[in-house]
Structure 1
Amino acid sequence: MPRARAAVEREIWSRTTTFLLLGFIAYALPWSVFAALPLPADGQPLLRIQGSNTVGAKLGPALVMGLFEEQGLSDIRVEKTAENEQRVLGRTREGRQVQVQVAAHGSGTGFVALKDGTAELAASSRPVKDSEAQALGAAGDLKDRRAEQVIALDGLAIILHPDNPLKALSTEQLAGIFSGEIATWEALGSRGGAISLYARDDQSGTYDTFKELVLAAQGKTLAPAARRFESSEQLSDAVSRDTNGIGFIGLPYVRQAKALAIGAGDAQALLPSATSIATEDYPLSRRLFFYNRVNEKNPWAQALVAFAHSARGQAIVQKTGFVAQSVEAVTVDPTAGMPAAYAQLSQQAQRLSVNFRFQEGSATLDNKAQRDIGRVLDYLTRQGKLRDEVVLVGFGDAKSDPARAELLSKLRAMAVRRELAKGGVMPREVTGLGDELPVAANSADSGRMKNRRVEVWVY
């Protein structure tokens, strides 16, 4: 092995081992370890959750209800207390009524609530910003694996009126539309006249995600004429009534509207399906989070996070319309643009519905990938595919030297192999395809990070 390649491998090895074994153990722990949670003083909520409307409208309350059921509570129900605010009620075996408060006014409000102590969990539909993490320094590093919890996956659906004949758009076209530079449907080869814009409000993580992935990536800003909404449901319903309307929304809120296929850069346009979002290949896929203080002491906050990661919690994620992080094998049809070896793999094997990705500017698996190691190990063990049944395929962003891109992509796959080997997995093959088959544009950091991935295939 050349000396330079060996050095890179040693770096990856040293940086990817931290916390992974602990993560697998935590993932596999039985739920019973959280039984008999203590209750606060009368009149005090068990837990306060603030932040994302995407999480807080349905998913957050549904997860709390699931936790209540696990705790043996009865008379479980959700009660609206104000606009975009709810409380989940339950009754203990002794007859005492308890509650969890959920306020859903946008992801940014969750981090403010963590800072001022008015919430134990911040729900967010985007990663914490550097400025927010710095402001919350007393809470510990919010990018630490103990604080940042990926609880579900979602995709921003670009929605139209059901009668609009348009089928696909690029992220470049979306930026032009929502900045107001593309003003008519005819300019897109469709029909209808002037385009009507619908967008979430400034506090929304949905808007932050759209702004980062679409507008800012193209150097654009949202047109002042866009109608703004705090509620996901209200936005979707408004678009479905406007024949000239276009908006963006979380996947569970498409409702009566029509979703478009979206492409980025040279990547193929994809519809926001469960598989394309689970692998995060869909250009507007995103992660949904709970954030807590690194040393959060509230036992109900700790238990809800653990429940969200459990198989039961992920089943609730799927039931509420989001995309679970459970692992499944899916068939991939070969296409004309695939490299020959990859096309052959698609004919003979199935791809798992998870991609491993890495921390920004690092050879370390990111927080989600660290938990996904446990999920993949569990799947492969249950399916009896530990020996010579797995192929790991690494990908990367474009480099000036294609050989370097190929080497780096293979080293990423080798990093995943080493972690899976701790659980007894012996892959049939580990390979790297460099910058082939991009899923995002390489012109932006967010796109390059998406392209740096490792796929898992099983025979």
Structure 2
Amino acid sequence: MRYLCAAVLAALFLFSGMVTHAAAQDITLRSRDGGVELTGTLLGFDGEFYRLRTQYGELTVDSSGVLCEGVGCPSLIDFVAEVSVSGSATMGSVLMPALLEAFALRHGLSTQREATGEETFTYHLRDATSGKSVGRFYFHLTNTDTGFADLLSDNADIVMALREIRRSEVSQAREAGLGDLLKPNRSRVLALDAMVPIVAPGNPVDAISPTELSRMLSGALDNWQTLGGPDAPITVHLRDVGSGLSQGVEDRLVKPVRASMNAQIMRHMTNAALAEAVEGDPFGIGLASFSETGNAKPLVLTGPCGFQLRAARRSIKTEDFPLTAPMFLYLPARRLPVLAREFIAFTQSTAAQIVIRRAGFIDQAPEEVPIDLQGDRFNNAILVTDGPAGLEELQRMTRTLSGMRRLTLSFRFEAGSSRLDAQSRSNVQQLASALEAGAYDGRRLLFAGFSDGQGPADGNLRIAKTRAETVRRAVLDAAETADTSRVVIQNDGFGEAMPMACDDSSWGRQVNRRVEVWLQ
């Protein structure tokens, strides 16, 4: 009896499959001493744990402590891991298959891709020597909305998302017993993309501000003449409404100004179709994926304060480009098969970062950027420096950072909150793992905090230092096994000294509130 009691954990982890998996069947689990038995409907098996629906609710039972009876009992010897992945077609069409094939190769497995429908396919993983089947990954490629819907309906184990999970989805997931999807270990930033404004090659406009983009998206700005272009109506092109990229545009550019998306926006089902449509529309503008801009002309982001930022690999990786779009994997609080857990771990490895770059996306491997490659940022800082006090702080920042290298990890906070946003929470785990591995032993790390330019300069300086300390503490708390005596970790704040966007909008001010990491 003690084996079964120890094995049963109510409402914990599970493995569920796609709707194409075998139908659930009744089984009986009996303790090895025969003293206790448990009958219920088998909901999932991950090779180690059974998950049952019983008269006591949903229970998870360790297979090592029980014997399984019934036609629905899975084989403990010939277990085949099954994992369902649903969501963004941008992530699922090339990137995830490339990662899965690289993972299989490193683990001595062969892969076979089987098309099962217009939006679905299955990867069969087999032992390369024996040919024995060890895993099946079921892919459902649609959009971020459908990915979360599949998760909530128990038809997905991993969600591919081009936006952060929304509060309503967090509540629904919690009510469905999937745990708190806002916790750090419930999401991973797989790679980075960006929302890049593009126009036709012959369009004379070369730059646009985020405020102007917001007005275009809401319909308040509808003629190119306002931007120095021809006297012609503006046609806006976006992805379909269920796309995470399109929803990210709405969340980042439209909702903060309390506006609504223009109903006349032209929608496209794929990134390639969007880029092609803009390329052929002399009066069109679109917000496209950095990985698929086609032959359209990207616009520079600018603003009334004079800053200019271009979408490029380094500016996206450091999040200097304000419209960076993280590509998330969301995982419910339930147990996945060992094969799935190993694959998730592989996506964070150095080998995986190479695959991500080859697939055309921005990887997460930390890089060190010399201070002499920060010219555009320092130029922006000089342009907006105000008065003797501003010049003094800019000089102090320059002296402090001189001879240091910037790490390509940035940290930002949720609007109106001291809580780090989803990408920053992932960055915390990444930096903590590097510290635990001794990657920066013998070096000095400086967490540098920055603020927007609203309010008194001394107050902004205090806020910036507080933000830097908050991030430093979060990283140290996460790096539980790191030997911090082997690395110097400090924090400082420079207030409004180096803005990344103009302070003329709530969106711009939010971008400027950040923490960077510098190394010596």
TM-score by length of 2: 0.72
CA separation in 1, counterparts of 2:469 and 2:79? Answer: 53
What runs of 5+ residues in structure 1 fail to find an aligned partner?
1-36
| Structure 2 CA distance for aligned equivalents of residues 276 and 181 of structure 1 | 29
Aligned to 2:487: 425
Alignment of 1:284-303 (within 5 A): 284-303=323-342
Residues 148 and 169, structure 2, Cα contact 8 Å, conserved in 1: yes
Which of these residues, 166, 169, 187, is aligned with residue 208 of structure 2?
169
Q: CA deviation at 1:116?
A: 0.9
Q: CA deviation at 1:264?
A: 6.2
Alignment correspondent of 1:404: 459
Matching residue within 416, 437, 450 for 2:498: 437
Determine if contact 1:120/1:301 at 8 Å carries over to the other structure. no
In structure 1, how many angstroms separate the alpha carbons of the residues matched to 2:244 and 2:145?
7
Aligned residue runs from structure 1 range 35-50, under 5 A: 46-50=82-86
**Correspondence 1:112 to 2:154:** no
Say which SS state the counterpart of residue 132 (structure 1) adopts.
helix
1:248 aligns with 2:287: yes
Greater helix fraction, Structure 1 or Structure 2 = 1
Is the 8 Å Cα contact of residues 52 and 105 (structure 1) preserved in structure 2? Answer: yes
For the structure 1 residues 118 and 442, does the alpha-carbon distance in structure 2 shift closer, same or farther, using more than 3 Å as the test?
A: farther
1:105 Cα deviation from its structure 2 partner: 1.3
Q: 1:391 to 1:243 in 2, by over 3 A?
A: same
1:326–1:200 Cα change, 3 Å = same
- For the 8 Å contact 1:77–1:89, the answer to whether it is kept is yes
Q: Which amino acid aligns with 1:412?
A: R
Output aligned runs, 1:361-400, within 5 Å. Answer: 361-362=417-418, 366-374=424-432, 377=435, 382=439, 386-387=442-443, 389-398=444-453, 400=455
Deviation at 1:382, TM superposition (A): 4.8
Please give the per-residue CA displacement for 1:381-422, whole angstroms capped at 9, x wherever unaligned. Answer: 5576x34x4443211245534323211211332344554685
Q: Does the C-alpha gap of structure 1 residues 359 and 376 become closer, same or farther in structure 2, counting only changes over 3 Å? A: farther
The RMSD of aligned alpha carbons is 3.1
Aligned-partner Cα distance in 2 for 1:99–1:192: 56
3-state SS of 1:400 partner: coil
CA contact (8 A) 1:151 1:289 kept: yes
Between structure 1 and structure 2, the one with the greater Rg is 2
Aligned counterparts of 2:284 and 2:207: Cα–Cα separation in 1: 15
Aligned to 2:311: 272
Contact 1:73 1:90 in 2 (8 A): yes
The 3-state SS of whatever aligns with 1:224 is: coil
SS of the equivalent of 2:208 reads strand
Deviations 1:232-257 (A, max 9, x none): 12111222222222111221111222
The aligned residue for residue 88 of structure 1 is 123
Give the TM-score normalised by structure 1.
Answer: 0.81
> Aligned to 2:309, what secondary structure does the other structure show?
coil
Contact kept in structure 2, 1:179 and 1:221, CA below 8 Å: yes
Q: Using the alignment, how far apart are the partners of 2:461 and 2:418 within structure 1?
A: 17
Q: 1:257 to 1:378 in 2, by over 3 A?
A: farther
Tell which has more relative contact order, 1 or 2 (C-alpha 8 A, sep 6+).
Answer: 1
The answer for the alignment partner of 1:319 in structure 2 is 358
Change in 2 beyond 3 A, CA 1:88/1:186: farther
Contact 1:267–1:438 (CA<8 Å) still a contact in 2? no
Gap regions ≥5 residues in structure 2: 1-45, 49-73, 386-393, 477-481
Label 1:450 to 1:199 Cα distance change in 2 as closer, same or farther (>3 A): same
Distance in 2 (alpha carbons) for counterparts of 1:170 and 1:246: 13
CA 1:362–1:181 in structure 2 vs 1: closer, same or farther (change >3 Å)?
Answer: closer
Aligned to 2:519: 458
- Residues 211 and 505, structure 2, Cα contact 8 Å, conserved in 1: no
